[in-house]
Chain A
Amino acid sequence: MLFGYAGNILEVDLNTGQVNKTPLPEDLARDYIGGRGFVAKLLWDKIGRGTDPFDPENLLIIATGPLSGHLVPASGKTHFGTKSPATGGYADASMGGHFGPALKYAGYDILILKGRAPEPSFLVIEDENVELRSAEACWGQGAITVEEDLKKELGESFQIITIGPAGENLVRFACISHDFGRQAGRTGVGAVMGSKNLKAVAVRGTGGLPVFDVDGLFEKSKEAYKKVRAKPGFAGWTPEGTAGITNWVNEVGAFPTRNFQTSFFPGYKDINGQAVLERIKITDKGCFCCPTPCGKYGKTATQLGTAHVEGPEYESIALLGGACVLGTIEEVAYANYLCDELGLDTISAGAVAAWAMECFEKGILTEQQIGRKIGFGDLESLAYLLEKTAAREGIGDLLAEGVMRASARVGKGSEAFAIHVKGLEWSGYESRNAPGMMLAYMTADVGAHHNRAWALGHDVAGSAASVHDLISAGGRGGRLAKASVSGKAGRVIELQHIRPLFDCLGICRLQYMELGFEGENYEALFYLVTGRKMNWDELLKVSERIWHLTRAFSVREVAGFGRSADYPPPRFFTEPVPDGPNQGHYLTREELDILLDEYYKARGWDENGIPTSETLKRVGLGHVALELAGAK
């Protein structure tokens, strides 16, 4: 018996409505653990080479981990995977909430969606009963509105994922929404769901899960809950949640401001965690079994209207606030609400809008092309761009393609400030003086996303001597020293194995990464749930295998994929930061090459960033090596 797992894969062919239930293979659980690991393995095995992301043959895989749904701190994570419409390569996105646990209680570790429903549909899963129903009535409606309506129709006990108009209209950065403010935000998973004519999935499960040591788990979980809440930092971090880091990111000059033109936002105290706490928040909101609820559900009022919204959390503040220069937390929260309802990833949506604003400022896009004047710091401009994008109307049809494709079409130098890697827009950390973070963005398997490896703290620590001198001399936010470039690969690789491991286990990483809930606790919880004794290093070995596999997937699927895909946009290696703590700093192209050379060597990849056959065999991916060799 596979303890911890529900034990089944549910596959739904949306072309026909046919349902296929198969046992979860033991070797899949053993070699890939769950969640992200399941997604990576199944995408490699099941997607035909060269499949277009919007082809019905592309898959949308929803996977849980062995700890999802158990009495384990923050075990509400669900993982989504597909071939990305943003990058053309490997894609996954993680979501908090309650959907994954419900899917497991219904009896399924993995839900595979393939084909395309002949008409707008939604899927209802209630234990053994799986039914495709018409979504004609709710097609075109907002993601939050539809979730609310389906809750009324089906019952509160259903957990529901939805897409908004952006997903229906194949916006390449559309997200999947859940629980009125949780999203699988990145890589365009919502667009793939839309391409399948699937508006929503609702699941209710009434079953249990097999646990190796029930009594032991119960005792350990009680202890874990108390330990997490007793951690130094719990009282400081939890009240504001991720929004609480806004001050610090500005102090170290890493806040993406004005489409990443600079890295310090003078008005940051009007859009920080304290502002969320004092002016937006109504209540804390946590995911399944979470001891540290970081969600801040609240209400905002602006000149465009009022809205209830979860957040904004840090990334939304950074990209909707900093990148688009919104001046108040109320405006940021309202833009956040619009993204949630329209079904847009707040990170990419903010980045795309900021790119358009800079294009307008530089005269590259005209009022006639856009349909009105737009500008930084103007909520009405931002709302206009978001709504046009989600509908693919007018200028929105261009913006819906994301900054990489949009800038390639527009040209006129706009590619230099289209802030992305591999086609995925950059998240909330400007990195011209943070070489570790820069490398993390450059090499993240899904594109410019921070949640694979967040190395900014290590970059600041690495420059500690000079910074310390500066501070000790009485300086406050003065100019920081240029960070050293060499020797970053090892730390970035270590982080790239740790953070995604949590996406395999099906739990949130914040208790470990942010509060320091020690790794040995997870070893113990994993054992008590699954009966498998794996120490931290052994778990990380699995995470390493998955990292090579996701790289191999993009090598196989994206024409010409390799080193050239790993560079940031020219702004970051040609333009010094104009002001703020990192004034004058940037990384040269030669320094970026040092970062990549050291990284590829440490990874066991060739000079073009392709995993070598020896490396793939070493991590148990001999079949992948053979297939890649056959593809040459």
Chain B
Amino acid sequence: MRITLHLSGGLRAVLNHLPGETTIELEGPAPVRAVLEKAGINPLLVMMVTVDGETTDKEQILVHDAEIALVGPVAGG
């Protein structure tokens, strides 16, 4: 399974050693949280998650290839 992670500006600002886009290969179903850890991203730094454009949470189980957008810490208005 091929998972592509897209990091938001807020996330890249605090994880500036990581590229804006990262691809992770998974051998079987796994939650978003596990993918983040495999990519070296502290799940606590991820504020919101979308999988293939749908808002979800870090516990969603990924069962096939997916494009994941990660929104990092952002402030209020």
Contacts and interface: CB of A to CB of B under 8 A. Distances in A.
A44 B53 CA distance: 49
A241 B53 CA distance: 16
Contacts of A235: 50, 53, 55, 69
Contacts, number: 128
B72 to A, nearest CB: 6
A577 to B, nearest CB: 17
Interface stretch (A212-220, A389-397, A453-461): A453-461
A457 B76 contact: no
B72 A457 contact: yes
Contacts of B53: 235
A129 interface: no
B55 A245 contact: no
A451 B75 contact: yes
Contacts of A467: 42, 44
B9 A454 contact: no
A404 B63 CA distance: 55
Interface string A216-249: 0000000000000001111111011110110110
Contacts of B55: 235-236, 239
Contacts of B32: none
Contact of B73 (A460, A468, A518): A460
B44 A236 contact: no
A516 B8 contact: yes
A517 B10 CA distance: 10
Secondary structure call for the A interface: helix
Contact of A514 (B33, B70, B74): B74
A451 to B, nearest CB: 7
A244 B48 contact: yes
A512 B10 CA distance: 8
A294 interface: yes
A245 B75 contact: yes
Nearest to B13: A457
Interface string B3-17: 000111111111100
A236 B42 contact: no
A471 B44 contact: yes
A318 interface: yes
Contacts of B71: 232-233, 236-237, 514
Interface residues of B, number: 32
A313 B76 contact: yes
A378 B6 CA distance: 42
A236 B14 CA distance: 18
Secondary structure call for the B interface: mixed
A252 interface: yes
Contacts of B9: 231, 233, 512-518
B69 A236 contact: yes
A315 B76 contact: yes
B30 interface: no
A516 B10 contact: yes
B20 to A, nearest CB: 8
Contacts of B73: 245, 248, 456-457, 460
B14 A513 contact: no
Given A232-B70, A236-B55, A242 B76 contact: yes
A258 interface: no
B7 A232 contact: yes
B41 to A, nearest CB: 9
A450 interface: yes
A233 B70 CA distance: 6
Given A233-B69, A235-B69, A245-B47, A461 B10 contact: no
Contacts of A252: 44
Contacts of B20: 232, 516
Contacts of B8: 231-233, 236-237, 514-516
Contact of B44 (A318, A451, A460, A514): A460
A244 B43 CA distance: 16
Contacts of B76: 242, 245, 313-315, 318, 427-428, 450
B52 to A, nearest CB: 10
A304 interface: no
A368 interface: no
Contacts of B14: 457-458, 460-461
Nearest to B50: A236
A251 interface: yes
B48 A236 contact: yes
A512 B8 CA distance: 10
A464 interface: yes
A472 interface: yes
16 contacts: A233-B10, A236-B55, A236-B69, A237-B71, A242-B74, A242-B75, A248-B48, A427-B76, A460-B42, A460-B45, A510-B74, A510-B77, A514-B10, A515-B8, A516-B12, A516-B20
Interface of B: 6-15, 20, 33, 37, 42-45, 47-50, 53, 55, 69-77
Give the top 8 A-B pairs by smallest Cβ distance, nearest first: A516-B9, A457-B73, A314-B76, A233-B8, A232-B6, A232-B69, A454-B75, A461-B14
Given A464-B44, A510-B77, 15 more contacts: A232-B69, A233-B70, A234-B69, A235-B69, A236-B71, A237-B71, A245-B75, A252-B44, A427-B76, A457-B14, A457-B72, A460-B42, A471-B44, A513-B74, A513-B75
